[in-house]
């Protein structure tokens, strides 16, 4: 198995740490999320792409700090007081060798690509790229928001439904206890 790493940079980690502070609002677009902070800065989260090998791309989350001048966003009350917590998650993208995956419409020489968490990685994976594909921010009242790379290339998804955030945490083996 050939293994690569495309994880969050120190700059991204530092930008994401700012999300622990008080939020003014959040703006969600297909390819980015911007969290406007009370201190006049904004954290912009987007998907970053790496061409790992020919015809094999991997995606990670990238964050930058920028000026929030003129930005407000939709208020997200549970995060307005600060004291938020953030947890980053590791994902994997992998390919299976030609002929390993059988499905209607696939030729015997087709190569399949998959994305998931490390516990889902198959024993037959040929190329693997370890990524930072998601994070959860928890407010002091216990509510949370999940931000992750989307199913469509370059997309970033936001999930605020408590049951779906909890299901993600359980799937990733996270326990706050």
Distance CA 43, CA 20 (A): 11
More confident residue, 11 or 177: 11
* Residues 6+ positions from 9 with CB-CB distance below 8 Å: 62
Q: Could you tell me the pTM of the whole model?
A: 0.89
Residue 176 lies in a domain: no
More confident residue, 156 or 30: 156
Residue 39 lies in a domain: yes
Strands 127-138 and 112-116: unpaired
Burial of 13 (0-12, 13-18, 19+ CB in 10 A): middle
Q: Calculate the average pLDDT of the chain.
A: 90
What are the C-alpha distances in Å from 170 to residues 144, 159, 163?
14, 15, 10
Residue 107 lies in a domain: yes
Domain hosting residue 20, numbered range: 2-171
Distance CA 8, CA 88 (A): 9
Show the tokens assigned to 44.
């912009």
Residue 55 lies in a domain: yes
| pLDDT at 101 > cutoff 60 | no
Residue 120 lies in a domain: yes
pLDDT digits (tens, 9 = 90+) for 132-153: 999 999 999 999 999 999 888 8
More confident residue, 97 or 41: 41
pLDDT at 140: 93
- pLDDT band at residue 157 using 50, 70 and 90 as cut-offs: very high
- Please write down the HEC assignment for all residues of 47-85: EEEEEEECCEEEEEEEEEEEECCCCCCECCHHHCCCCCE
Show the tokens assigned to 119.
């516990």
Domain count along the chain: 1
pLDDT at 153: 84
């Amino acid at each position: 198995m050939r293994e690569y790493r495309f994880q969050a940079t120190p700059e991204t980690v530092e930008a994401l740490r700012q999300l622990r502070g008080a939020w003014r609002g959040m703006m969600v677009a297909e390819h980015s999320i911007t969290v406007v902070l009370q201190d006049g800065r904004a954290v912009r989260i987007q998907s970053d792409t790496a061409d790992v090998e020919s015809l094999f791309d991997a995606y990670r989350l990238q964050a930058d700090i920028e000026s929030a001048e003129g930005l407000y966003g939709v208020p997200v009350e549970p995060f307005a007081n600060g004291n938020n917590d953030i947890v980053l998650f590791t994902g994997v993208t992998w390919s299976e060798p030609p002929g390993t995956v059988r499905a209607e419409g696939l030729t015997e020489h087709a190569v399949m690509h998959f994305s998931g968490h490390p516990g889902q990685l198959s024993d037959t994976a040929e190329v693997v790229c370890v990524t930072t594909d998601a994070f959860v921010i928890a407010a002091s009242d216990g509510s949370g928001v999940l931000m992750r790379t989307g199913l469509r290339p370059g997309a970033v998804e936001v999930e605020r439904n408590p049951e779906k955030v909890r299901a993600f945490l359980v799937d990733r083996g996270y326990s706050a206890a």
